[in-house]
Amino acid sequence: MAALRAFFPCVRGLLRPRPGCAALRPFASGAEFKYIITEKKGKAHNVGLIQLNRPKALNALCTDLVTELNEALRAFDDDPAVGAIVLTGGEKVFAAGADIKELQSLTFQDCYSTRFLSCWDHLSQVKKPVIAAVNGYAFGGGCELAMMCDIIYAGEKAQFAQPEILLGTIPGVGGTQRLTRAVGKSLAMEMVLTGYRISAQDAKQAGLVSKIFPVETLLEEAIQCAEKIASNSKLIAAMAKEAVNAAFEMTLTEGNKLEKKLFYSTFATEDQKEGMAAFVEKRKASFKDQ
Ligand code: HXC
């Protein structure tokens, strides 16, 4: 039961809090969080910003933090005013990985019976586009979290690594899979087998990161990109995201088939009519997400 209480966030609300942990409270949009800060950004307040905020532990991703992150993601995903989400950390660290002090005493039985890592999957299921703005370390679960996002922007001093091998374990939330798809087998193997850190520049060259910015402007650039995304139809953006993500799950034939179905589906929307009418009439489109 102790292990359940400690590591099964899904039943967290039914259990008493652990000493030193955030008091249980009903999370809701706008609720105060302990380990993250949320805010709406952009001129039209249509960008949901989530900042990991556990600086003393270099944003180590303890279960309570991941639970809060999931709650904030859910709230922004359900908020009709929000068109894109930015996930960031601090200037020196994005996240130094899962909380090693929490993992240290886990047993196989704890992991298996509580499906310990299942709460980490939520980010990859968000419908709206998510941009990771990574400054500093993105190690282990931190790198995996960034890779669950749709776009990674990096600060000039960012570093990416999967150092689990140095702790006697391996990545558990996509590090061996998403990294390999992003950077190819040789570099992924080198990183996973040695714990080797790559710089922002190497990450960009390898295709893990789409753009690099100075540390001070990174977040603003990520928010601007999110604003651009949010100014389009949210409905069509979700379909575009679904189609690109299918490339990681399907064969080329299956993926192309899904893409065509989604393309046809856009013609059932008002936003496609509006977008094309606006082009022909030489005016700015006004999408209604319908
Ligand atoms: C818990 C951590 C932590 C972590 C840092 N801290 N990383 N606590 N879990 N992942 C804590 C330290 O214990 C320390 O707390 C404080 O943060 C500052 O860390 P330092 O090590 O003193 O800082 P520094 O010398 O600047 O080194 C930074 C660092 C190093 C290189 C990032 O902290 C580091 O190597 N961290 C571990 C990185 C890692 O192995 N990540 C993978 C985790 S496993 P105190 O209280 O001592 O001051 C993982 C599995 C994912 O992610 C799969 C399942 C989800």
Q: What one-character-per-residue DSSP string does 112-127 give?
A: HHTTTTGGGGGGGG-S
Cα separation, 266 vs 274, whole angstroms: 11
> Is 48 close to ligand 1, i.e. is its CB under 6 Å away?
no
> Is 95 close to ligand 1, i.e. is its CB under 6 Å away?
no
Q: Same structural domain for residues 79 and 172?
A: yes
Q: What is the CATH number of the domain that holds 44?
A: 3.90.226.10
Q: How much distance in Å is there from the Cα of 59 to the middle of ligand 1?
A: 9
Per the structure, the complete domain to which residue 188 belongs is given by 36-231
Total domains in the fold of the chain: 2
> Is 192 close to ligand 1, i.e. is its CB under 6 Å away?
no
Q: Same structural domain for residues 205 and 251?
A: no
Q: How much distance in Å is there from the Cα of 3 to the middle of ligand 1?
A: 22
pLDDT higher than 50, residue 52: yes
Which atom of ligand 1 lies closest to the CA of 100?
9
Q: Same structural domain for residues 225 and 148?
A: yes
Pairing of strands 159-161, 198-199: antiparallel
Q: Same structural domain for residues 139 and 239?
A: no
pLDDT higher than 80, residue 18: no
Asked whether residue 117 is assigned to any structural domain, the reply reads: yes
Q: Same structural domain for residues 257 and 128?
A: no
Q: Same structural domain for residues 155 and 241?
A: no
Catalytic residues: 98, 141, 144, 164
Q: For the chain, what percentages of helix, strand and coil (3-state, to nearest 5) are there?
A: 50, 15, 35
Q: Same structural domain for residues 159 and 255?
A: no
The lowest-confidence range among 20-29, 91-100, 106-115, 193-202 is 20-29
User: pLDDT tens digits for 5-16?
Assistant: 343 333 333 223
Cα separation, 213 vs 200, whole angstroms: 10
> Is 287 close to ligand 1, i.e. is its CB under 6 Å away?
no
Proportion of the chain above pLDDT 90, given as a percent:
89
Q: What is the CATH number of the domain that holds 245?
A: 1.10.12.10
Average pLDDT, the chain: 91
For residue 266, how far is the Cα from the chain centroid?
Answer: 26
pLDDT reported for residue 31:
58
User: pLDDT tens digits for 72-88?
Assistant: 999 999 999 999 999 99
Q: How confident is the model at residue 32 (pLDDT cuts 50, 70, 90)?
A: confident
pLDDT higher than 80, residue 259: yes
Written as one letter, the residue type at 276 is M
